[in-house]
Structure 1
């Protein structure tokens, strides 16, 4: 295939010869940025450089790199064109920055305060992560920034179903709202269940579904600054919890699995998903939830072993 492409390219270049310079050809240039293969090519280029610098690739996360030097450690996480890194030794951070600048054109943004919509406050006694700015923009976008706040994201008596007789609403607007709320769950596990519940009706949303989604916005109005707190000097024991809502969805009587994972007293992972099969008992529903919980736990253990914690 490569030979064929080279032949085709040579034929094209021959056609581009000018009459004044018959032995000259045009040199074609095409920027890599914006192409579909750009992220892959960039990652391969970056990973080759990091591996040549003595870094090891993570076993469970291939975009994670780690380097040990005596008792010091530096961690590098790649997110497409962004890189987050940290170390137990400041000199290792400075050496990493110098090595990257010598090889690539890059800018150093300093301590991480804002990344991918997440606000990060690094304090002396811990780190606080939230999406307050994104939450305010979300309320303003859907004209709910002046609404009255409520205490819960969903009513205990709420039983959503397909509502075939209900009034249809704008599908694109409903999908935009659900997509925005799903991104907010990156730091708001308290709305995870109800957002995933509302997301099931995106194909044909009704007014009842939209009202349930608007209730989430009313809840966010009073909890814009809520986030995740990760204190310093805590135990690094991994603890996992799972639960299930047996036959909780009225449409097909499928259960919902919920899991969360704690590192010490800090919540690091959570999950809420409708089960793929219909459980015949609460025990069966619990076993399915435990299975997904164990799978995530094994992945987290491998990730922590890459960090040198386990």
Structure 2
């Protein structure tokens, strides 16, 4: 989804058209290179009931089906001069002089954009003659996500999915809440009575997780609730319903990919030290913007216990640095002229000093080598570290549940918007 957001952000800033295609019976196009046999379907008469059928083509349900379809489509695109991205194998690009066309593939859904309308028209005709496709016209509804063209750019929203989710879990009559979780909420993994139907909790959290594709404000809540999937208790269910009531009050909220020609890439990272009462691990969070358009974000509990808040912040910094290294390569493939170093803002002076100081000293000798990846990228000129006050740090939204006023303050910095009335 980060690649999809990058593609839509690029199209908005470069004023490109976005088109959507759908492939008919995609998995049936794959060629099999292994010997695979299947039990005859009921009702098919055979001379010997012990006979099996040898497959000549791929079928839905085979483990190989998606791989073989991808190989078939990839080979077809290569014959047209499209090169597969080295940073995301679902992205293909054809560039000749000033002509650029990008193709993003998600199973049988294809996203098409670029500045050469004639080439895109020829590609549609080629794919239709090869696979039989449906030309769905301008991008409107992709992977359950609505993409609306507005005077300000493109707006991605999951309004229908969110509305169906509220109805499915009977939150229609509940009052909306003003933030995803109560401020400073702490839940134990064993608090309260066990839920009689734990699968209901798992289904709700799974659907909320899908909403985070266009709702970065839900990232921390989903990460927090996902900790209790194995054995959910009643307080966990109440917290999940609190999040759903927040969704009810913000059904139409989405992400705006603006037309501002600015291609300034900036990132924010933060951590909440030892915030998990069960494991004492810290929570990392980051957020990346391209000229004010949201590209990537993450809220994740750290894999190990950090011995200090500076170490927790440093680990968070390492995570977003790795994401920036990948994003910078991907955006270069999308022909966006990025300026480096990328501004990375952190609210921990101690973590910044550790990254800038290559001297091996007592404070950092226990930190794994992979964390010092930050120093390497700083010296290479990929990132430029700067301090930001905690009160202005939007990545704080990805590390803890905040009071309503602070939540709304940071929400305005994430590129969220509502459809025009």
Superposition TM-score, scaled by structure 2 size: 0.66
Corresponding residue number in structure 1 for 2:180: 153
- Determine helix, strand or coil for the equivalent of 1:290: helix
Moved more, 233-242 or 262-271: 233-242
Gaps of 5+ in 1: 10-15, 19-25
Pairs within 5 Å for 1:41-120: 41-120=68-147
Q: Paired residue for 1:283?
A: 310
- Which residue in 2 is equivalent to 1:23? none
Q: 2:220 aligns with which of 190, 193, 211?
A: 193
Q: What's 2:377 paired with? A: none
Instruction: Provide the rounded CA distance (Å) in 2 between the counterparts of 1:233 and 1:93.
Output: 25
Give the CA deviation at 1:98. Answer: 1.1
Preserved contact between residue 234 and residue 265 of structure 1 (Cα < 8 Å): no
Give 1 or 2 for the bigger CA radius of gyration.
Answer: 1
> What SS is found at the alignment partner of 2:303?
coil
| Partner-residue secondary structure (3-state), 1:68 | strand
- Displacement of 1:106 in angstroms is 1.2
Deviation at 1:27, TM superposition (A): 8.6
Which of 155, 160, 167 is the aligned partner of 2:193? 167
Map of 1:144 onto structure 2: 171
Say which SS state the counterpart of residue 138 (structure 2) adopts.
Answer: coil
Residue 234 of structure 1, aligned match among 240, 261, 268: 261
Show the counterpart of 2:158.
131
**Equivalence for 2:291:** 264
Indicate the residue corresponding to 1:21 in structure 2.
none
CA 125–176 in structure 1, closer or farther in 2 if over 3 Å, else same: same
Q: Distance in 2 between matches of 1:28 and 1:71?
A: 45
Matched residue, 1:224: 251
Q: Secondary structure at the match of 1:150?
A: coil
Sort the Cα spacing of 1:30 and 1:51 in 2 relative to 1 into closer, same or farther, 3 A.
closer
2:177–2:249 contact (8 Å) kept in structure 1: yes
Deviations 1:62-94 (A, max 9, x none): 111001132121000010111111111221211
Deviation readout 1:131-189 (Å, 9 max, x if unpaired) = 0000000001100122111111111131111134x111121001001101000111101
In structure 2, list runs of 5 or more residues that go unmatched: 1-31, 39-45, 338-421
Q: 1:85 to 1:4 in 2, by over 3 A?
A: closer
For 1:258 and 1:5, the matched residues in 2 are separated by 47
Choose from 162, 179, 197 the match for 2:206.
179
Query: C-alpha distance in 1, partners of 2:184/2:293?
Result: 31
Residues 54 and 157 of structure 1, relative CA distance in 2, 3 Å threshold:
closer
CA distance in structure 2 between the partners assigned to 1:3 and 1:38 by the alignment: 11
Contact 1:261 1:269 (C-alpha < 8 Å) held by counterparts:
yes
Rounded to whole Å, the distance in 2 between the matches of 1:4 and 1:202 is 38
Bigger RCO of structures 1 and 2 (CA < 8 A, at least 6 apart):
2
Does the residue aligned with 1:198 lie in a helix, a strand or coil? helix
CA distance in structure 1 between the aligned counterparts of 2:198 and 2:224, rounded to whole angstroms = 16
The answer to whether the aligner puts 1:249 opposite 2:279 as a matched pair is: no
- The answer as to whether partners of 2:58 and 2:65 remain within 8 angstroms in 1 is no
After the TM superposition, list the runs of 4 or more consecutive aligned residues in structure 1 that deviate by more than 6 angstroms: none
Residue 13 of structure 1: aligned partner: none
Indicate which of 266, 274, 291 corresponds to 2:301: 274
Counterpart check, 1:305 vs 2:301: no
CA distance in 1 between counterparts of 2:56 and 2:72 reads 19
Task: List per-residue Cα deviations over 1:106-128 (Å, max 9, x = no partner).
Answer: 11111111111111002243000
**Structure 1 pair 3–89 and aligned structure 2 pair: CA distance change class (3 A):** closer
* Kept in 1: contact 2:35–2:55 (CA 8 A): no
Q: CA RMSD in A?
A: 2.3
Question: What secondary structure does 2:148 align onto?
Answer: strand
